[in-house]
Structure 1
Amino acid sequence: MNTNDKKGMMVKAKALFKIDHFTKAIPMFESLVAAKYKPAENNFYLGEIWYYRKKYDDAIRHYKISATLYDKASYMPKLLLHSAISFEKVNDLDNAANFYSTLIDVYPESKEAKIAYKNLSTIN
């Protein structure tokens, strides 16, 4: 698969994601990750799909890969918030609190930080 093919596949996968066609988008994002094409962003989208499907352990795994590969991404506030909520859903409250706190510290002006502050107050 050449770069233009990968770019086109990513555009299509993101369009499918936006209209909640996750079943069709998943193999595309997985192919792009396997091809090492924008693996941080594609893992983020896989994390989002599993988050919305309430498969929190899978979401956490993809979020972790994404954040490890590129921690300056524009979607980091959402990744941190959804990671924290995912940890909360699997009853890992220490990690949830750590992710909420990191989000508040690093992105204090984000809309996600406001949600994190509220959520953190309910688990502490």
Structure 2
Amino acid sequence: MKGLYARQTRLEARVERIYQDVESLKKQSMAGSSSDERQLAEIEASLAELEQSYSELTKRLNNLETRTMSSVPAPSQSGSFTGPGSSALQYEARVYEEAYKNLTEGNYIEARNQFKQFMASYPNSAQVADAQYWIAESYYREGKFEESILEFQRFIDSYPKDNRVPLSYLKQGLSLINIGRNEEAKLFLQTLIDKYPNSEEARIAKEKLRELAVKR
């Protein structure tokens, strides 16, 4: 399941890139260029295919989570585990997967609360980094951009070698743009480019910097 989560993160980065391409081409097509319109149609088709892949992957994760949760007994009122094969590790997975399911269903407040509880209860879990990332992402999806900036920074500071750090920098920059703090956004985007020059996220950052330069 860990591999599926990693694949979902990569797909998320690609979806973000294509969204930015679409927005850029929509602005260009205002001039009436037929070539731009054709390119926009092609990119939108690619976006539809990618979103379908993302949706199918999310369904697979949810199905796996449902099967996992159904096989793990809940703790008794005394707090002990009952049933054959029950273990603290299985229950840990169940807690995480319930939080993730709420995230995918758009129940952001509930998901955040569950992820925070997960981090407090299982500070040594291999999925603590995942929980912190999804807390930040939940704020971003909810449009609470100031909170998302802070939580993505917490993720970057805590897990500087995680492969989602470039995406976190990008989403910090996009969050700042969304709340009109363009000069600060430039700093985050440039940091992303400097640290991860060959990443997909850096390519998006360069495009956003060009757009911001035109707006001056």
TM-score category by the smaller chain?
0.7 to 0.9
Residue 103 in 1 paired to residue 189 in 2? Answer: no
User: 1:39 touches 1:66 (CA, 8 Å); kept in 2?
Assistant: no
Unaligned runs of 5+ in 2: 1-78, 80-87
CA offset at residue 3 of structure 1? 4.7
Give the CA deviation at 1:81. 0.7
Q: Distance in 2 between matches of 1:60 and 1:3?
A: 32
Match of 1:76 in 2: 165
CA contact (8 A) 1:46 1:62 kept: yes
Q: Which residue of 1 aligns with 2:203?
A: 114
Contact (CA 8 Å) 1:39, 1:69: kept in 2 or not? no
Q: Which of residues 87, 91, 106 is equivalent to 1:20?
A: 106
Q: Larger deviation: 32-41 or 101-110?
A: 32-41
- Between stretches 33-42 and 67-76, larger displacement belongs to 33-42
Q: Render the CA deviation track for 1:24-49: whole Å, top value 9, x for unaligned.
A: 32221121233335544322211111
Instruction: Between 77-86 and 93-102, report the one with greater CA deviation.
Output: 93-102
Partners of 2:151 and 2:201 in 1: how far apart? 19
Q: Which amino acid aligns with 2:196?
A: Y
Answer yes or no: is the 8 Å Cα contact 2:108–2:138 preserved in 1. Answer: yes
- Tell me how far apart the structure 2 counterparts of residues 34 and 95 of structure 1 sit (CA, whole Å): 32
CA RMSD of aligned residues (A): 2.2
Amino acid at match of 2:179: V
Residue 12 of structure 1: SS of its match in structure 2? helix
TM-aligned CA deviation for residue 120 of structure 1: 1.1
Equivalent runs, 1:77-96 vs 2, <5 Å: 77-96=166-185
Q: Which moved more, 1:82-91 or 1:103-112?
A: 103-112
Shift of 1:97: 0.9
On the 8 A contact 1:41/1:66 being kept in 2, the answer is no
CA contact (8 A) 1:104 1:117 kept: yes
Letter in 1 for 2:202: A
The CA deviation string for residues 55-91 of structure 1, in whole angstroms up to 9 with x for no partner, is 1111111111111111111211211111111122222
TM-score of the superposed pair, with normalisation by structure 1 = 0.83
Corresponding letter in the other structure for 2:168: L
Greater RCO (Cα-Cα under 8 Å, separation 6 or more): 1
- State which structure, 1 or 2, has the greater radius of gyration over its C-alpha atoms: 2
State percent identity of aligned pairs. Answer: 23
Structure 1 residues not aligned, in runs of 5+: none
Between the aligned partners of 1:108 and 1:31, the Cα distance in structure 2 is: 36
Q: 2:134 aligns with which of 32, 45, 53?
A: 45
